[in-house]
Chain A
């Protein structure tokens, strides 16, 4: 019960009018930068950091956190409407979101992702409230073999998640894995595939790569086509955008699974919303009875990743606040912001700064409700983007991508990288190679490699280290099943067909 008492005290902090106003401003700004392709939460958060000097520390954190999770709501909008993820975390949403928009169901898709995001956020916040400290401690017991097993499972599960030819999907994932090796090898410090460019020693810039493959590639392939039929235009009233009962029903369980997966992956240090979204998408396709619908506009394929990425950004506060270990770059920045305010996150934070902790957690809830109220009425406006004539829309998109990619490091080199990937993405779309697995391989590859090598380094070459804990055994067995089962099933059904024929 003391949790409820603490939470009530938290709401007293989060529901003051200043906090409400700040939270509103944060989530608005977050949604906005999320929608813009290429501009991510980090740009807006670093912009707002100096503003927070003049606020109470808890208000400052409410603002910065609001931008962070607000961006997750916004980023799926451009995935669905334009097939260009607003941030890399929404790349998985493109796979089924854009086909829905093409069928004239953009409004429904936006409706579902908004509700799924809200649901994912709520689940993660509840987990944060109830289990933050023990969960943080459990996440710490994850060593190299566990990370390896979990990431491998993600990779294997997702390996056939893309629509179309499995061989092409696998080839693209391996290509992504190789792109992930570019830069400085963590284990040895050696440079790989840097081609003599110092800019590449930090690896290929994720935003540049995602915007090239998805954004520039998409615009190029649309320009190259004959007149494409415009998506059917419908009325833009809220009523006409409500999902059908069928759509609503089939997005419930994916949202539940996505939220739980996202909460767990978010709580692990070193992972992030992109991984959560991809793994949730792959899981849905794996367990679906009709996996062939994925890639053609299946609602499960948007509900799960969006619930997962929003859950993961809320859960990412667990390791940051409870043990002072940030999960990704944005969280590292949040940690820096807290320290500048004289708040040192760590094991003692909840007891030493209860107002801070619970106020922030309560504000997450407030922020998610605000986002829901804010986003639903705006859906009609976003859908109108589709009726912008292409001679205005495409230059606008390319302009936003240029500014966004440049702004990450103030380095024009990243724009050249984006152009190169745009060309590759264009070729891929011509020959029906799926784009999403490249990004997935790029994101998961370094984690798989690093933890595989680290496991053997620590165990001095002893392979039994991989099966030394229940978590790693479970994940490895599941990976094996996921690898072996589909070909076996196919073989069996062929034999059955042969026997019958």
Chain B
């Protein structure tokens, strides 16, 4: 005997159009990552996946759709069904600035095409200088860089690291030569190896070298001090410049996703981020688990957007 009720339920589950928001979620949820496996954003998605799986009761699929500065993933999610099953694991560039830097300003606008769910992690940077430069404070660095030609390592044109350097360079009025590398690894290798003198780097990648004594941290770029480096002042505290520069990761759904689906994911996400295990994992990554409500996340996005849009526009080589 066929259980017709059950068969109908299965059929209903198979048809996306019939999925009732009240049942959300009753199918796997996909987190679309705009980078290849292995980086900060990908790791963040993989760290929260088990917790979300447990709380939403559905498998979480991490899908890497790398390319075009994150635009490919963003457009994929923008065009996906607004049912809460396809989410964008966003970060600064892919969400806010890629349409501008890729010369396709109408591709998407985060304010109208996406519905923020919550931030996942915040990664501060540290401004470090190689130990043999005999500089121990930001003021000394600025002094030294005014009297001699100093090289700053950047992991690529248009990265948050590069933008922070450009912004600071403009404020202090020094002639820093910014040398671009292809990613964090060669950029840090040049710093440690002696080709360049100082750089802004994500805490995750530079912390081992700070501990090793190869570089000296002068400041951190977050609003508050970082637990791993309690004695290092924030950029604002140094009084030299007045800005913060962080990279965030966060979840967004396509605009038009039902509110209760967003509320459910938000709840599961924030509960996941509050567990000690997840907090510890982000700490190991040099990041901070950062639970936020959709409204708070929107505020963060607005702040980052306003601070950095002019800088991104200024350094954009492809206008």
Contacts and interface: CB of A to CB of B under 8 A. Distances in A.
Interface of A: 42, 45-46, 49-50, 53, 140-144, 184-191, 198-199, 201-202, 269-270, 319, 323-327, 329, 332-337, 339-340, 342, 344-348, 409-411, 450, 454, 457-458, 460
Interface string B34-72: 001111001100110110000000000001111111011
B43 A336 contact: yes
Contacts, number: 150
Given A332-B38, A346-B211, A454-B179, A340 B46 contact: yes
B182 interface: yes
Given A348-B211, A450-B182, 12 more contacts: A45-B37, A50-B49, A53-B50, A143-B194, A198-B69, A199-B72, A325-B186, A340-B43, A340-B285, A342-B284, A344-B208, A347-B212
26 contacts: A46-B38, A46-B64, A53-B50, A140-B194, A142-B193, A143-B194, A186-B180, A187-B157, A188-B180, A189-B316, A190-B317, A198-B72, A269-B185, A270-B182, A323-B189, A324-B209, A325-B189, A335-B38, A339-B43, A339-B204, A347-B209, A347-B214, A348-B211, A410-B63, A411-B67, A458-B177
A329 B67 contact: no
A164 to B, nearest CB: 33
Given A143-B193, A201-B102, A188 B157 contact: yes
A184 B39 CA distance: 19
Contacts of B5: none
Given A142-B193, A191-B318, A340-B281, A332 B39 contact: yes
B212 A409 contact: no
A470 to B, nearest CB: 16
A176 B72 CA distance: 26
B37 A336 contact: yes
Interface string B166-180: 000000000001011
B186 A270 contact: yes
A342 B63 contact: no
Given A199-B67, A348-B208, A325 B179 contact: no
Contact of A458 (B65, B151, B186): B151
Contact of B317 (A46, A50, A189, A202): A189
A329 B64 CA distance: 14
A339 B182 CA distance: 21
Nearest to A346: B208
Contacts of A329: 36, 38
Contacts of A333: 36-38
B238 to A, nearest CB: 26
B190 to A, nearest CB: 7
Contact of B177 (A326, A335, A457): A457
A452 B297 CA distance: 43
Given A49-B37, A142-B193, A346 B67 contact: no
Contacts of B36: 42, 329, 333, 409
